[in-house]
Amino acid sequence: MDFNNAYNLLIDKLQRWFAETIKLLPNIVLAVVVLIIGILIAKLVRKYSYKIIQKLSSIQTINKLFSSFTYIVVIIIAMFTALNIIGLDKAVTTVLAGAGILGLALAFAFQDVAANFMSGIFMSFRRPFDVGDLVTVNDKMGRIEAVNLRDTTLITLQGQRLIIPNKDVFQNAIENFSSTGKRRLDFTVGISYGDDLEKVRSLVKDCLTDLLQRDLDKEVEVFYDEFGDSSINFKLRIWLNSVHQADYLSAKSEAIILIKKAFDNNDIMIPFPIRTLDFGIKGGEKLSEMKLNLLDAAVKEGEELKAG
């Protein structure tokens, strides 16, 4: 093939391309206009979607992610529309199909990360707790420091920072002590069988009337619970007006002090555990009898020595 033929083929090809471009020029202009309008609409959607999601979620990272996601969706729609106008939508569809297969492979590889990420999104809408709440998660008690996309940060009562994956938080029971603003103090007290039960109940309620942390809108509750081995036990329930752990422990300590003082002043006995000691081989022999038996054995041995 000589140079002239090659030159003519190249010129013909360029001319055909130029002619096709001229034919597509209106479509290209329209596609550009559609893309510009799509970008403007995407910015407006991102702005208003961020305002809407803020009312439902308290996690700013998720709020920004959601608004950015809506922005990208609108941009993609505008791009597909523009490419469809100029006839390139099939090529882009092929590329996206390959990207979808790659994304599926990555999803299997990072399924734990994806599970924590999705759990963080669900938690932002469900809102089982807020930052600063006192909670128990996975048998760990502490205050929520931060809720991120992948994990939740907890400051334990001992002062350590505990990072829990969102999947473990979302899939397990959460005990929130701050959500109601109130907390109940429960513990068991035992009294002797010889004490007046009605008197004890009235005495306990009276002595706890002025407990500092007590919720004055709710009465102190005393319920006799069981006949113990050496005592009659009752459950004591006191509603507190604070959910802080320090106030909870302080109220329990003060309640024990007040009950002990009231019992001492009114001759109410908190019995010690009673144990029965069996000194007999066959069982049932009393300790007093054991002393007599030992004494008799000693006397008998003394008489034998004198006789000898």
The answer to whether residue 270 sits within a structural domain is no
CATH number at residue 104: 1.10.287.1260
In a shared domain, residues 305 and 288: yes
58/52 Cα distance (integer angstroms) = 12
**Rounded distance, CA 106 to CA 121, Å?**
20
pLDDT of 299: 56
Domain ends where: 76, 109, 142? Answer: 109
Determine phi and psi for 291, rounding to 5 degrees. -60, -45
How much of the chain, in percent, has pLDDT values that exceed 90? Answer: 18
Q: Mean of the pLDDT values across residues 129-145?
A: 87
State residue 224's pLDDT score. 93
Q: Which of 78, 95, 75 is nearest to 31 (CA)?
A: 78
Q: Can you give the CATH number for the domain in which 221 is found?
A: 3.30.70.100
Is the pLDDT at 217 greater than 90? The verdict is no
Q: Give domain status of residue 58, yes or no.
A: yes
Going by C-beta distance under 8 Å and a sequence separation of 6 or more, which residues neighbour residue 90?
Answer: none
| Distance from C-alpha of 234 to C-alpha of 303, rounded to nearest angstrom | 58
Residues 91 and 41 in one domain: yes
Asked if 79 contacts 93 with a C-beta cutoff of 8 angstroms, the reply is no
* Tokens 């035992």, residue located: 190
pLDDT band at 8 (very low <50, low <70, confident <90, very high): low
Higher pLDDT, 36 or 22: 36
Are 172 and 188 part of one and the same domain? no
Q: In the chain, pLDDT over 70 holds for what percent of residues?
A: 70
pLDDT given for residue 182 in this prediction: 85
Does position 167 have pLDDT exceeding 70, yes or no?
A: yes
Residue 275 is assigned to a structural domain of this protein:
no
Buried b (16+ CB within 10 A) or exposed e, 23-54: eeeeeeeebeebbeebeeebeebbeebbeebe
Residue 138 located in a structural domain: yes
- In this structure, are 105 and 194 located in the same domain? no
Helical segments of the chain, H only:
3-54, 60-85, 89-109, 111-126, 166-170, 197-207, 245-265, 287-307
**Cβ contacts of 179 within 8 Å, gap of 6 or more:** 129, 133
Residues 144 and 169 in one domain: yes
Pair (104, 152) in one structural domain? no
pLDDT at 223: 93
Closest among 257, 262, 249 to 207, alpha carbons compared = 262
Lowest mean pLDDT among 83-97, 118-132, 165-179: 83-97
Under DSSP, the state recorded for 120 is: H
- 65 lies in a domain? yes
CA angle 188, 189, 194 (to 5 degrees): 145
Per the DSSP assignment, residues forming a β-bridge with 187 are: 236
Q: In this predicted model, which residue has the larger pLDDT, 19 or 43?
A: 43
Which of 30-34, 182-186, 289-293 is predicted least confidently?
289-293
Q: Is residue 28 over pLDDT 90?
A: no
Q: Is residue 203 part of a domain?
A: yes
Element (H, E) at 135: strand 134-137
| pLDDT tier, 82 (very low <50, low <70, confident <90, very high otherwise) | confident
**Is residue 235 assigned to a domain?**
yes
Identify the top-confidence range among 83-87, 166-170, 197-201, 283-287: 197-201
Residues 226 and 254 placed together within one structural domain of the fold: yes
Of residues 36 and 80, more confidently modeled: 36
Least confident of 117-131, 168-182, 185-199: 117-131
For residue range 236-283, list pLDDT tens digits in order. 999 998 888 888 999 999 999 999 999 999 988 888 776 655 555 545
User: Model confidence over 101-134: pLDDT tens digits?
Assistant: 666 555 555 566 777 777 877 777 777 888 888 9
- Same domain for 245 and 292? no
**Inside any domain, residue 120:** no
- Mean pLDDT in the chain? 78
pLDDT of 185 above 80: yes
Same domain, 201 and 142: no
Rounded CA-CA distance 271/269 in Å is 6
Same domain for 92 and 11: yes
289 band by pLDDT with thresholds 50, 70 and 90? low
**How many structural domains comprise the chain?**
4
Query: Residue 293 is part of which domain span?
Result: 281-308
- Do 82 and 105 lie in a common domain? yes
DSSP of 208-270: TTT-TTB-TTS--EEEEEEE-SSSEEEEEEEEES---HHHHHHHHHHHHHHHHHHHHHTT---
The mean pLDDT of 199-205, rounded to a whole number, is: 92
Looking at residue 93, its pLDDT comes to 66
Q: Please, which pLDDT band fits residue 50 given cuts at 50, 70 and 90?
A: confident
**Cα atoms in the Cβ-side hemisphere of radius 13 Å centred on 225:** 16
Q: Does residue 197 share a domain with residue 170?
A: no
